[in-house]
Amino acid sequence: MTFVVLENCIKCKYMDCVDVCPVDCFHEGPNFLVIDPDECIDCTLCEPECPAEAILSEDDLAPDQESYLQLNEELSQQWPVINASKEPPEDAAEWDGVPDKLQYLEK
Ligand code: SF4
Ligand code: SF4
């Protein structure tokens, strides 16, 4: 099992999740974070830390969220590890909850 970063992280990227992960499984792209499913130990610590409610266990994914499991796996192979939080984007709060953000994902 693994935890998965979902659409609402796109352009929010508050990064509170990064500081609690004990095994450095977050990877950072230009405007999104992902979890490496091969590294995640299912400790559950990150899910309640995310202010955007953008992290779920793979077991709790809705049918329309299941594609994010593959997206996390794919992008975690391409992006570098991030293990300490940085400043979030200045407009992060404005993007929290905006629907259909997948179109803005930068790879
Ligand atoms: S705390 Fe949530 S919104 Fe912020 S980077 Fe982590 S998953 Fe993305
Ligand atoms: S569940 Fe634990 S190990 Fe997995 S990404 Fe979250 S904090 Fe890291």
Please tell me the predicted confidence (pLDDT) of residue 38.
98
CA dist., res. 23 & res. 37, Å (int): 11
Pocket test for ligand 2, best of 41, 59, 68 (most atoms within 8 A of CB): 41
State if residue 54 touches ligand 1 by the CB under 6 angstroms criterion: yes
pLDDT at 13 over 90: no
Please tell me the predicted confidence (pLDDT) of residue 11.
96
Ligand 2 atom with the shortest distance to the CA of 21 = 7
State if residue 33 touches ligand 1 by the CB under 6 angstroms criterion: yes
DSSP 10-28: TTT---HHHHH-TT--EEE
Average pLDDT of span 29-54: 97
Q: Is 4 helix (H, G, I), strand (E, B) or coil?
A: strand
**Mind listing the pLDDT tens digit for each residue in 27-38?**
999 999 999 999
Which pTM does this prediction carry? 0.97
